[in-house]
A and B are shown apart, each in its own frame.
Chain A
């Protein structure tokens, strides 16, 4: 029956582990079921946390349950399960092997946060300066780059999102994290901004002024308007911080003894000195000048770079502990080695100016650039110049100065000369104006100050005035010039263009080079022909070991930032050299450079994330003032200007690596160098549950999403409704924050259109839910839903839809709206539609329009499918096999959830369970081979001990400690009675603290533990396991919630919060004193199943369990197996399969009857299945794991069976009612009968109606008959479409008319609808208030129906009227439900434990359901459900024993009067009256509560009029102790008693004080 048959047989060498792809609800459920069945599970999730789409939802239909409340226990359960390993940020990139034995490659992208260390305190997010749209809130709010997907997320660890390296950082030679400090400036955190800058650059004040800022050229913002003014922002930070008194940095700790010598105190040498000193080396810097700072101090003029900034930034380095020897010229390297230095860095810069070899170059009045600038700076040095050559100001005052050269230094020289009082300043250079090596803005500044520039000149000689002084320079015009490879210049001059530029002072400024006099030929250090030091460019190593060189002395003149960069690199090399490691740097995480494309920028502008805002101009000194002063020209930003400028940043890299989080994190969990990891997993099976992607609304441009602010998607609206959403649950429209009073929903956006020939199955219902919730939020809201059909095809959905219309007044209009227009003044939206009733075009105005976006498959799923070798359909959904709806084309790989077809939550859960069942069959032989069990030491018997309480109070970083006095709370706790120890911890839940608690409990002999921290809902199990590891019973732990319920909600009242924390701790201690150890009892499990019902569901479930190795009793009341399936001849799936035309419905593998036969064969042949025909279940006794049932045959024979679980698959029947002349007129038949007729004609069915085996010419079908007016029977529409199509195939000329209310062809069944319309089937809509009328006229039939659009009644005289009679519960189900004590819903179907999350389970443990017994469903849904039920049942049968007890209710029989109150109260049927027990007054008969059935709710305890029941762990004395403690009374004299159930503790009560 299946191409995949070999996979069904247990794989003998299977691996007992399963890979589940996707951490949404389907994936989580699959993982949990498998783990509970005894398999190891790897749950791979591509995002940073599991939870999927469901976590984003506000409420769920049709119960309006809070989605988060229902999913968060699943998150905790999945996350904490010992045998589920959750791999977040991970993708499957390849699979090798075969079913039973796969090797899967998984790539894990770095999270940058160590999940083992992170406590989830959130302080990293608090300090993260980067703001990006929060996609969990669908872009309606912002979040930080350090983030947790949502508050309840698992893992609780935070994550850091990086997109790549921002281009500004990439362009900077020192990789300055510009984006980081810009973000911090925007936040107003200027000191933090400076810290970030200093991470990469010890000279921020300097670089803020004189850097050539290549970062700005690379800035993506430049593509929008102007690049961010990065250098001005950097300068701003130093201006602000340096205005404060300097706080000297702490000296760096010494870790190594190797001494390092650095020659040259310029930016390169000092950077290296700083880094090496911080690494822990003793560093000495040698400087020949009387000042440190190199060119920065003596080369750059004061008006560009004030000396005090250089001095300050140098001092910050020296204070780390760097030794500086000024006025010390190193004359040879050997001396340094002899002095004990083990590494030497040469960073002497390029301070020797070049004098062109032209005549007259040594005349008086000829100066050199470097000497000139140095003299200017040193002459103004206060305190003299001890030891060095006395500098004096160059004499230029009143003179005409000519500067030869066109670089930045030449401009500095010229502008300095101007400021020294030169009469005129000229410049002459080889290059044309626009080719000058100086920056254009420097040239502009020079010109603005009145400097005259002579371009394209070559200099022939310097003229003598006859007295040995300069008179001018003879020049020639340049036609062309170029430098050759050796740097030699060749100039082509214009002949005859000789002329003289007169001057009294000529200053050469044509380049500089290193002064390398101390490196003699025999020093072992090689030089290049250009007189720079030869090095290995990767390692800065010279030809002499231990000697390194960097900065201008190797590169020639360059910019300060390059010197800094090489200083950093060189320090790392020297560190590696001294540690004996290879010199080449280690590879680092390779992040891409983020280049924002046109399209993305346009998109972000359209979404309103980017507005055109030009850069904030830098205030400057007026030109008139500039000429006469060395004061700075650029004045710097004000804080407001700086923050405005910083706000323009696009945060390209997302995380900027500003390291704020690293500084903040108290547990050292953050690692920005975390690399990507590719690992291999060995698994036996793979389950794909990657979920869906919401249809991108911007694609449907006609609805204006992205352009009109008040058009939102349904998922955005969901977030607006959510109490934890961006507006805290207040629905506000985005344009003005006003409450929308008129809301429109447009349905089928991205569904049921040309590109999407499928229905997304959930939108009708979620729109209805969102409408109801919006109205519940504000009663005067009116909601209008524009839809094609209402597809409320699920349990309770039709009723929900009715409630929306009748109770909430939601309006539904059948039409497809073609476009939405906006009123630009109000941002209101105008929807035009045709009103069918009046056939008129209407316009309606709304405050908000919600687009009900459908499900599509993300494009990366195609890659996943390719990686796995799994076939997808044309829309990207996963293809599955006929009658194996969870099986992909590759054996051993299964699929669950929306990835195989759009579906809602309960179906996804069922899919997850079903896929787990399928994997369980494959891997049954390996069950339990790879699971881990917790290992604990034996429990210490504490009976009779006096309470000894240890209290641990948590700071939770600053979350608690920042808002109340934690040490005081701990000290207070120590004063409480029975407390033997109290302490406070930074993070009580961190790994080391957990181990510490265990140790402390052992060491102190504590027998109670109180943890005052966060919420027990998430953390109690953790602390319980830590005391269990110390040998204490886990029930001896109590928590005080001083975070969520104290520090966070009383954050502005330190004293009060501290006081309340003390109260909470006292209450916890008060209760803890009364806690008792509780024990569970182990009972063996009867490893057999009882399956009731022998249809498709029952047989599938039975086979599934038997193939997993569990004996099954299959009970069927009829004479034969098969049930409903006996009447099914055509399967929907086959009609829908792309191979439909190739495989006619009669083909064996596509034939439901063939499937039935093979199913029956397999069931009957399986040695573990015992089939009981003509048998019913009379009674079931016992609890989960241990049931005893009595079966009775039709003949009255009884049989007792022992089993651990029961699956009810009793099916349903087709309704047979009198509506529309059924049973009264021969031409009226049901769809089931019609299908049999069609099959009989085709020769694939035998029927007693075969004599009528002739096909009608005109068939009329009426949908929604009888009870279907009350609830949707789910399958009738599809059956009608199927039968219509079969008829059309068999008799193309036949006429088919379908009278319908809504065509509920959900999911891929939409294709049937499309195909039926294409085949010419006629569809006529009717309403229940005007139902079709059927009249019999002899042998003929006449049907009249009111056609709304035409406004008239249509008459038909069909040959055959086919009624879509709904599925109704099978007879006897009500009686069975009473016998087994399982509940039914209002329509008589079985009621599940939870409509969303436990769809195949009853609330009574051990009972499961499958198939139509719980609701009408198609064959593929039935198969999935049967697999799901069997998988859930297997979670019980896979255990050898069950644990019974713990926090359960216990009856004191001696007080019981057997009044039955508890029996009636209990929702789980746990209590019963046991005749053997002796009750009050010695009367026989008292209640007993089955511990295995008790859920510990305590309802019976309170209800019991005799107060004969106590709930363990919540005994009256424990409850009372807590209240007593609140009011200052702590019960004394308590002794630990082991809970016996019949003793109620009564201690003496004393008042503390």
Chain B
């Protein structure tokens, strides 16, 4: 395969959301410390949670940028949440508190533009709390499922996250 050849298709068109149950696509920002570790721990404990979440690593939730959050929604995320260390236990002193403030700010922006701040959340865990991580994944998937698809996406289309190509 040539490195420049265009990749196979990615989009799957859907007529409407009525026939198929809506499966939200949720972007999760975690710090590389407790946030990411708790996700790893959930795996090590063989817990099960919905596959709707996709993790993006940040060095610290102090690097949570309101722009990243908004961009994710713009791209088509139905929900976004941020997972950092327990408050008071940030590996970079107070980064998680900064992250928290930004998430709160972004919630207000989402409210203002009509997307709704409830599509965004922040959670605090310690690395061993795999079960809690799994529970948050479940809760957020459920919450976004109730809220419905991200209205920013073109009506009737679904930016799907797969392809039909087979080897």
Contacts and interface: CB of A to CB of B under 8 A. Distances in A.
Contacts of A66: 34, 86, 89, 126-129
B51 A978 contact: no
Interface in A690-749: 722-724, 728-729
Nearest to B34: A69
A1405 to B, nearest CB: 14
A1538 interface: no
A791 to B, nearest CB: 25
A1527 B51 CA distance: 15
A1524 B68 CA distance: 11
Question: Closest 9 interchain pairs by CB?
Answer: A971-B167, A1044-B43, A1498-B63, A1499-B62, A1048-B43, A1497-B92, A69-B127, A1467-B93, A66-B126
Given A1056-B51, A1502-B63, A975 B131 contact: no
B98 to A, nearest CB: 6
Interface in B93-107: 93-95, 98, 102
Nearest to A722: B128
Given A971-B167, A1447-B59, A1553-B11, A1045 B34 contact: no
A667 B56 CA distance: 32
A977 B98 contact: no
B71 interface: yes
Interface in B71-114: 71-72, 75-77, 86, 88-89, 92-95, 98, 102
14 contacts: A65-B126, A723-B126, A723-B132, A724-B41, A724-B44, A728-B45, A978-B3, A1017-B37, A1041-B55, A1049-B51, A1059-B162, A1067-B56, A1501-B63, A1553-B11
A1051 interface: yes
B98 A948 contact: no
Interface string A1495-1531: 1111101110000000100101001101110111110
A1336 B160 CA distance: 86
Contacts of A77: none
Given A1062-B162, A1526-B27, A975 B51 contact: no
A971 B163 CA distance: 12
B147 interface: no
A1053 interface: yes
A1227 B163 CA distance: 89
A976 interface: yes
Nearest to A1067: B54
B128 A1526 contact: no
Interface residues of A, number: 80
A1016 to B, nearest CB: 8
Contact of A151 (B9, B44, B163): B44
Contacts of A460: none
Contacts of A979: 1, 3
B3 A948 contact: yes
Contacts of B128: 58, 66, 68-69, 722-724, 729
Contacts of A1523: 27, 56, 68, 71-72, 75, 77
Contacts of A72: 37, 127
B161 A1514 contact: no
Contacts of B136: none
Given A971-B166, A1067-B54, A1519-B68, A63 B88 contact: yes
Contacts of A1524: 75
A593 to B, nearest CB: 37
Contacts of B7: 975-977, 1530, 1552-1553
Contacts of B44: 151, 724, 1044, 1048
Nearest to A66: B126
Contacts of A889: none
Contacts of A975: 1, 7-8, 163, 165
Given A151-B44, A978-B3, A1523-B75, A1497 B95 contact: yes
A1526 B43 contact: no
Contacts of B165: 972, 975
Interface in A920-978: 946-949, 967-968, 970-972, 974-978
The number of chain B residues touching the other chain, given as a range, is 35 or more
B163 A1526 contact: no
B56 to A, nearest CB: 5
B139 to A, nearest CB: 15
Q: Choose among B42, B43, B51 the residue with the greatest number of A CB atoms under 10 Å from its CB.
A: B43
Contacts of A1051: 46, 48
A1498 B161 contact: no
Given A1017-B36, A1064-B54, A1497-B62, A977 B46 contact: no
Q: Choose among A66, A970, A978, A1053 the residue with the greatest number of B CB atoms under 10 Å from its CB.
A: A66
Contact of B51 (A65, A1057, A1530): A1057
A1513 B102 CA distance: 22
Interface string A69-80: 100100000000
Q: Choose among B44, B129, B165 the residue with the greatest number of A CB atoms under 10 Å from its CB.
A: B44
A1052 B40 contact: no
Contacts of A1467: 92-95
Nearest to A1015: B40
Interface string A967-1008: 110111011111110000000000000000000000000000
A1551 B126 CA distance: 37
Contacts of A724: 41, 44-45, 128, 130
B75 A1497 contact: no
Given A977-B7, A1017-B40, A1045-B40, A1060 B51 contact: yes
Nearest to B161: A1063
A1527 B76 contact: yes
A1498 B43 contact: no
A325 interface: no
A1497 B40 contact: no
A1063 B43 contact: no
A1530 B166 CA distance: 20
A1527 B6 CA distance: 16
Contacts of B102: 1502
A1498 B167 contact: no
B64 interface: yes
Contacts of B46: 1048-1049, 1051
A769 interface: no
A1049 B134 contact: yes
Contacts of A974: 1, 167
Contacts of B49: 1049
A979 B1 CA distance: 8
Nearest to A959: B43
A1526 B54 contact: yes
Given A1497-B63, A1519-B68, A1526-B161, A967 B56 contact: no
Contacts of A477: none
Contacts of B36: 1015, 1017
Nearest to B23: A1056
A1024 interface: no
B63 A1045 contact: no
B59 A967 contact: no
B15 to A, nearest CB: 19
A1044 B131 contact: no
A731 to B, nearest CB: 14
A972 B163 contact: yes
B48 A1044 contact: no
Contacts of A1511: 59, 63
A1514 B59 contact: yes
Given A946-B3, A1527-B161, A69 B55 contact: no
Contact of A1502 (B1, B43, B98): B98
A1499 B92 contact: yes
Contacts of A1048: 42-44, 46
A105 interface: no
Contacts of A1046: 51
B41 to A, nearest CB: 7
A1403 interface: yes
Contacts of B167: 967-968, 970-972, 974
A1529 B74 CA distance: 12
